[in-house]
Structure 1
């Protein structure tokens, strides 16, 4: 056995054992036939293809074929929420305090957060005009820019948005990376429309923030945004379930982490026993709650897949004629 064949077989472990037994030799043989002479390692594209194929077969075996479409639906909702928040904060960033107050700024902006918000607006525009790889790269760069804001603020000695704002934005963006490459035009319009709507909401609501009020506004605004996101996802899930389509349930499960992080100070306040409405949890409780939400949320999807397998829920297969799920 050559080194290349051995590595193909290692990647083949992504598939269920029964499928490997039936089709493993055929799959490995096909890849070996297509490989150039002298190759020692599978290409990244081949590795990704094998891993994706293995995931699809494992989900099919567990009766969870709607999982990937459900995550893609959640990704679109997460992206729309992220761009709405970016549009909101982008307008807020332009409202700096009077110079005589001596409060530091990031050039003409309130804080270094403007770097992230600009990145999200660019991503929203590319989803509309250049869906596919360009828009996914833009989303990834926006996530990285959001994660880099604390370092930018430290290097430039400028204010930055609190982690209460940045962490849920990163969670939304990470999920948004799974957005479908082939969105229909109305869906491609959602992120940029949400960004414009976020800016309009900030303007109409008259938010005139100086840096000291940034956290207070986030504590009021972010849980409301999370609640709206959850309600929309649940309503979609109910509507889809009535059509015997379980994508919505998977979407709700995938969105629980960003929704939880949008409301993390309320959850932490509940842990500390503080009355809801004005939660002021301690910093250790905030950190512990955020870590718990961040770790438990992603674990819900494989747990739900395992529950599907145990209950023996049959997958919803699309009709070969009309494409509807049954």
Structure 2
């Protein structure tokens, strides 16, 4: 075995064992032939483009589509669900914050808003664009346009990570950890909706679901905020409510409600409804929700209301952690077995003779 062939085989370990058993020999032969007859004295190495192509193939195989092995199909369905559910959440929350921003500009006078070139005005414009991008990305995805959804979601994520959204301040480590709440659905979108993934086109009404959820949610949050500002709600009660009203709190609430619905309906669900995709997707989503809450955790509370809110945050962390562990156990029990590895071919049998 030549040095180059050995290195190609090392790169091919990125692929699942069952896939390598069927196609490793022909892939190695194709790579070595394309290398142009280099000898060991040339210290040959696989090209970076070849390594990238193998890595991309590994992702497509492990997150399989129609016709893939059941285990790879389950992983692929779960990752695609992470993208759909994550983008739906961000689109719905974007509707809430967009309505809040429009209400602020409708109620405030121009003197309070500052000049047209003010940093606050520029920040609000960028925020508005980000909200619209999340909503458009979800609508494009459910209408069967994943490529457009990827572009829109990447732009929205780039705007979130832009220092402009931090009011010109440096991007702190807490923001980076909190950003996983936005990055995980986008990464799942990029990885799960590959060229071998099933092309799903949902009904038109699914594209407006974020608006259907976001508008009532905005109304509820607006009423609660108004009652809190008017001191109609006692501060002791308000300190229990407030941690659920920001983005990470809403994410925690959404995850807990979805998990409770899953656990409550799973015993009566048909066979296909008891698969591993949904619990695995929710278990994956519990990780960025945990990280978002950790970034907001504080232990320097100085008054009873702040201490209550810190206790609620800790309770949310524990609830999401336990929920994630239960979902992981449920997904593991329902996960299909790995595909069998075919027996190796004799060393004197060429791939084209199979």
- Shift in CA distance, 245/168, structure 1 to aligned 2, threshold 3 Å: closer
Q: Contact 1:91 / 1:203 at 8 angstroms: preserved in 2?
A: yes
What's 1:321 paired with? none
Which residue of 72, 77, 90 corresponds with 2:80? Answer: 72
Q: For residues 153 and 143 of structure 1, what CA distance do their matches in structure 2 show?
A: 14
What's 2:8 paired with? 8
Q: For residues 123 and 109 of structure 2, what CA distance do their matches in structure 1 show?
A: 12
- Shift in CA distance, 71/153, structure 1 to aligned 2, threshold 3 Å: closer
Q: For residues 184 and 161 of structure 2, what CA distance do their matches in structure 1 show?
A: 10
Deviations 1:98-131 (A, max 9, x none): 3488477732985853242122123134325561
Q: For residues 312 and 122 of structure 1, what CA distance do their matches in structure 2 show?
A: 33
Secondary structure at the residue paired with 2:309?
A: coil
Q: For residues 37 and 261 of structure 2, what CA distance do their matches in structure 1 show?
A: 54
What's 1:226 paired with? 255
Q: CA deviation at 1:257?
A: 1.8
Deviations 1:135-188 (A, max 9, x none): 22222222222222x44443399xxxx999865334444444445464433267
Deviations 1:64-104 (A, max 9, x none): 65222222223222221121111111111222263488477
Aligned length: 291
Q: For residues 169 and 114 of structure 1, what CA distance do their matches in structure 2 show?
A: 16
- Shift in CA distance, 228/116, structure 1 to aligned 2, threshold 3 Å: farther
What's 2:201 paired with? 185
What's 1:120 paired with? 134
Q: CA deviation at 1:207?
A: 1.8
Q: CA deviation at 1:247?
A: 2.1
Q: For residues 186 and 228 of structure 1, what CA distance do their matches in structure 2 show?
A: 23
Q: Within 5 Å, which residues of 2 pair with 1:169-318?
A: 169-178=182-191, 180=193, 182-186=198-202, 190=206, 192-202=207-217, 204-205=219-220, 207=222, 217-218=245-246, 221-232=250-261, 234=263, 239=269, 245-261=275-291, 268=297, 279-281=308-310, 314=337
Deviations 1:180-237 (A, max 9, x none): 46443326753x3233224422554372879xx9988417644433333434555676
Q: For residues 119 and 45 of structure 1, what CA distance do their matches in structure 2 show?
A: 29
The yes-or-no answer on 1:144 pairing with 2:158 is yes
User: Tell me, which stretches of 5 or more residues in structure 2 are unaligned?
Assistant: 39-45, 230-241, 341-354
Which residue of 164, 167, 174 corresponds with 1:154? Answer: 167
Q: Contact 1:87 / 1:117 at 8 angstroms: preserved in 2?
A: yes
The yes-or-no answer on 1:29 pairing with 2:29 is yes
How does the TM-score come out when normalised to structure 2?
A: 0.58
Q: For residues 138 and 295 of structure 2, what CA distance do their matches in structure 1 show?
A: 28
Q: For residues 203 and 95 of structure 2, what CA distance do their matches in structure 1 show?
A: 18
Q: For residues 61 and 88 of structure 2, what CA distance do their matches in structure 1 show?
A: 30
Aligned CA-pair RMSD: 5.4
Q: For residues 4 and 255 of structure 2, what CA distance do their matches in structure 1 show?
A: 48
How does the TM-score come out when normalised to structure 1?
A: 0.62
Q: For residues 19 and 199 of structure 1, what CA distance do their matches in structure 2 show?
A: 44
- Shift in CA distance, 103/243, structure 1 to aligned 2, threshold 3 Å: closer
Q: For residues 112 and 75 of structure 2, what CA distance do their matches in structure 1 show?
A: 52
For the pair shown, which has the larger CA radius of gyration, 1 or 2? 2
Q: For residues 88 and 164 of structure 1, what CA distance do their matches in structure 2 show?
A: 23
